[in-house]
């Protein structure tokens, strides 16, 4: 045969081979392994994705949390349905939107009649345990063994509610929660059952207090400022302008910036919240003599130095100083979260337990790290709306996968149940992420998510709003106190600096999204009547001390 003919034949064969490979890949869908996996659900409180190096390393390196991303999947568009603590947790446990499970804000108690996914896992034969911060106002249901922080919990020498009553443990909260997690794995895990283990950190929640071993290192660091630190909220709506979460004007001096109360007195500074001293005493006041000595050796000279400069500092300088102070403490907290994630991953690897264990790392919502001049969360804008989500599952998830779909905390319950071969109840409102974990991405059809924030009037004064979010746009309705719509072009304006609701170029987009939003509200069972009813109850409770609510502290 001539050389040229052989070559032709080879090309044709190669082509046929390629086609058959492709159609085969289409046919062979990955399925769940038969053996039921163990599940470890790690969640930190207020851990912004900007502070995880798998997402961005402009602030801190988190090598251990990153291991989960490297060995599993990283979701870059994971979000919450209501950016605040207890509502997010209730949504995670029930797989339902807040207006259905009742925990619309941090104030009202959780509806105890709601089914939570750990109850179903327990019924299906899973051993269940929970350590750390639940912040729910209730003890968890369906949990064999728990040690949870009451309310917001404390950073130093914290109290815990357990199955056997209240205990106090000496040490730093993040280390203690991981000690409890490891102790359970080592000593009380039943080998004949799969397990569902919750390990939920309090850090880095306000007031952002690091472990004593990190005081020195982190207070010496200087961090990159966000581009929008000096945002004047021009081009946004009333809600952004009236929110009380600005680093310069709304942070507490003692509790947040850690200025000693007596120095505040000397300088004649008062906190807007009126908490001046209480906030400092609540945490720093709990330290034992040893912890306090390390604190004073680092924070006192830093504050003495500030005291000498304060009266000559401009507003810009003060803002910069407060931003650095904030980041030093917040990221100091993240350092110990990351170290402790490493302890857990090491243990699982050493024992081989990692082989059949799903590991989830997430936060109850995002957080502002100075973007728009803010701290805290609540808004549907990206830094608080999006949340980190990393999942590792050996032999199921392809290591190093990045996924950009709009997945939500609403989806976690159904995902975990399906992974455990339990059929989720029909009234859950999320969508299982299993197709995305298996790599069967074409089975995923969601193109928009729904959001609703309620806690107003209240701390930080973020107005009530609901919203629809697609990959391209975000349309929000601030409906109480004002009646304002906002539209952001997510592709052109990722920092959400310009509300384009009245820009004629977007007229068609607005009509389409308003219609889709109405449909979503209907689909999920939300409505204006319900909004008014919830608001009425909230205002009534605010004005009537006899109505039972869960205080924030």
Which one of residues 37, 39, 41, 45 is an interface residue with Ca ion (CB under 5 A)? 45
State the minimum distance, in angstroms, from the CB of residue 147 to Ca ion.
Answer: 19
Least Å distance, CB 459 to ligand SGN, is 5
Longest dimension (CA), the chain: 99
* 322 binds ligand SGN per the rule CB under 6 A: no
Nearest distance from residue 377's CB to ligand SGN, in Å?
A: 7
How far apart CA 194 and CA 196 sit, in angstroms, is 7
Choose among Ca ion, ligand SGN, none what residue 408 binds, the Cβ cut-off being 5 to 8 Å by kind. Answer: none
Is 66 a binding residue for ligand SGN by CB under 6 A? The answer is no
Q: Which is nearer to Ca ion, 45 or 531 (CB)?
A: 45
Residue whose structure tokens are 């869908």: 29
**Structural contact between residues 298 and 215, judged by C-beta atoms closer than 8 angstroms:** yes
**Residue (195 or 323) nearer to ligand SGN, CB:** 323
Minimum Å gap between C-beta 338 and ligand SGN is 20
Q: β-pairing, 401-403 with 473-478?
A: unpaired
Among 325, 460, 464, 521, binds ligand SGN (CB under 6 A): 460
Are the C-beta atoms of 334 and 62 separated by less than 8 Å? yes
368: burial class by Cβ within 10 Å (0-12, 13-18, 19+)? buried
Which of Ca ion, ligand SGN, none does 135 bind, CB closer than 5 to 8 A by kind?
ligand SGN
Contact assessment for residue 374 and residue 247, using Cβ atoms and an 8 Å cutoff: yes
Q: Which are the contacts of 80, defined by CB distance < 8 A and separation ≥ 6?
A: 88, 91, 364, 365, 366, 385, 387, 408, 409, 451
Q: Which of 74, 135, 147, 392 binds ligand SGN (CB under 6 A)?
A: 135
Nearer to Ca ion, 85 or 534 (CB): 85
Residue 279 touches which of Ca ion, ligand SGN, none (Cβ within 5-8 Å per kind) = ligand SGN
Q: What are phi and psi of 86, to 5 degrees?
A: -60, -40
Residue 325 binding: pick among ligand SGN, Ca ion, none (C-beta 5-8 Å cut-off by kind): none
C-alpha–C-alpha distance, residues 458 and 404, integer Å: 34
The nearer residue to Ca ion, 200 or 345, going by C-beta atoms, is 200
Q: Give the list of residues 6+ apart from residue 104 with CB closer than 8 angstroms, or none.
A: 82, 87, 98, 452, 454, 455, 534
> DSSP secondary-structure letter at 374?
B
Q: Which is nearer to ligand SGN, 151 or 394 (CB)?
A: 151
Tell me whether strands 159-162 and 165-168 are parallel, antiparallel or unpaired. antiparallel
Structure tokens at 318: 């003060």
Among residues 318 and 552, whose Cβ is nearest to ligand SGN?
A: 552
What x/- string results for residues 392 through 421 when contact with Ca ion is judged by CB under 5 A? ------------------------------
Nearer to ligand SGN, 94 or 201 (CB): 201
Residues 101-120, mask of contacts with ligand SGN (x by CB under 6 A): -----x--------------
- Of residues 349 through 388, those in contact with Ca ion by CB under 5 A are 364
Rounded CA separation 307/324 (Å): 16
Instruction: Answer yes or no whether residue 255 interacts with ligand SGN by CB under 6 A.
Output: yes
Residue number closest to ligand SGN, CB atom: 85
| Nearest distance in Å: CB 240, ligand SGN | 16
- Does 387 sit near ligand SGN (CB under 6 A)? no
Is the Cα dihedral 285, 290, 291, 295 positive or negative? positive
Q: Smaller CB distance to Ca ion: residue 46 or 486?
A: 46
DSSP string across 396-456? TSPTTEEE-S--BGGGHHHHHHHHTT-PPPTT--S---HHHHHT-GGG-----EEEEE---
Which residues pair with residue 403 across a beta bridge? 75
- Per-residue x/- track, 41-60, ligand SGN (CB under 6 A): ----xx--------------
Binding mask 73-92 for Ca ion (x = CB under 5 A): ------------x-------
Rounded CA gap, 486 and 500, in Å? 7
84 binds ligand SGN (CB under 6 A): yes
Residue 294 binds: one of ligand SGN, Ca ion, none (C-beta under 5 to 8 A by kind): none
Footprint of ligand SGN on 272-291 (CB under 6 A): 279
Closest by Cα among 448, 502, 476 to 240:
476
CB distance 92 to 196 below 8 Å: no
For residue 494, the minimal CB distance to ligand SGN (Å) is 25
Residue count, binding to ligand SGN (CB under 6 A) = 15
Query: Which residues of the shown chain bind ligand SGN in the complex (CB under 6 A)?
Result: 45-46, 84-85, 106, 135, 205-207, 255, 279, 376, 459-460, 552
Query: Which residues of the shown chain bind Ca ion in the complex (CB under 5 A)?
Result: 45-46, 85, 364
């Amino acid at each position: 045969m001539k050389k040229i003919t052989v070559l032709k034949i080879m090309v044709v064969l190669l082509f046929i081979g390629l086609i058959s490979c492709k159609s085969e890949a289409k046919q062979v869908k990955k399925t769940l392994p038969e053996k039921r996996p163990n599940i470890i659900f790690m969640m930190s409180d207020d851990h912004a994705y900007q502070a995880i190096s798998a997402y961005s390393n402009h602030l801190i390196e988190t090598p251990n949390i990153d291991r989960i991303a490297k060995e599993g999947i990283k979701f870059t568009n994971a979000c919450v349905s209501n950016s605040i603590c207890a509502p997010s947790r209730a949504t995670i446990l029930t797989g339902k939107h807040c207006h259905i499970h009742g925990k619309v804000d941090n104030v009202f108690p959780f509806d105890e009649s709601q089914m939570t996914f750990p109850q179903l896992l327990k019924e299906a034969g899973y051993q269940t345990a929970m350590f750390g911060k639940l912040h729910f106002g209730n003890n968890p249901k369906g949990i064999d063994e728990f040690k949870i922080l009451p309310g917001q919990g404390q950073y130093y020498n914290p109290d815990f509610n357990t199955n056997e009553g209240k205990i106090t443990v000496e040490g730093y909260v993040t280390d203690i929660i991981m000690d409890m997690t490891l102790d359970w794995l080592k000593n009380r895990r039943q080998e004949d059952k799969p397990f569902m283990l919750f390990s939920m950190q309090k850090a880095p929640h306000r007031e952002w207090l690091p472990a004593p071993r990190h005081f020195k290192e982190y207070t010496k660091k200087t961090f990159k400022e966000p581009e929008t630190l000096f945002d004047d909220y021009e081009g946004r709506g009333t809600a952004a302008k009236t929110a009380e979460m600005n680093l310069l004007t709304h942070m507490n001096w003692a509790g947040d910036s850690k200025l000693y109360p007596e120095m505040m007195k000397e300088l004649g500074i008062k906190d807007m919240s009126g908490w001046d001293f209480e906030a400092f005493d609540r945490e720093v006041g709990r330290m034992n003599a040893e912890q306090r000595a390390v604190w004073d050796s680092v924070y006192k000279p830093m504050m003495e130095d500030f005291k000498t400069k304060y009266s000559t500092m401009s507003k810009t300088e003060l803002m910069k100083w407060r931003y650095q102070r904030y980041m030093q403490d917040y990221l100091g907290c993240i350092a110990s979260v990351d170290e402790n994630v490493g302890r857990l991953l090491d243990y699982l690897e050493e024992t081989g337990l990692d082989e059949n264990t799903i590991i989830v790392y997430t936060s109850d919502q995002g957080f502002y790290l100075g973007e728009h001049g803010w701290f805290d969360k609540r808004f549907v804008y990206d830094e608080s709306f999006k949340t980190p989500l990393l999942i590792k599952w050996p032999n199921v998830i392809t290591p190093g996968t990045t996924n950009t779909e709009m997945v939500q905390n609403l989806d976690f319950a159904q995902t975990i149940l399906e992974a455990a071969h339990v059929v989720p109840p029909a009234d859950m409102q999320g969508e299982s992420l299993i197709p995305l974990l298996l790599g069967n991405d074409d089975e995923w059809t969601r193109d928009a998510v729904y959001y609703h924030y309620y806690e107003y009037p209240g701390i930080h004064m973020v107005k009530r709003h609901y919203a629809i979010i697609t990959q391209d746009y975000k349309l929000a309705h601030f409906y109480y106190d004002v009646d304002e719509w906002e539209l952001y072009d997510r592709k052109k304006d990722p920092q959400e600096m310009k509300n384009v609701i009245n820009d004629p170029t977007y007229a068609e987009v607005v009509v389409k999204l308003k219609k889709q939003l109405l449909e979503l509200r209907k689909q999920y069972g939300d409505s204006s009547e319900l909004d008014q009813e919830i608001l009425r109850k909230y205002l009534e409770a605010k004005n009537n001390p006899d109505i039972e609510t869960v205080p924030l502290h």
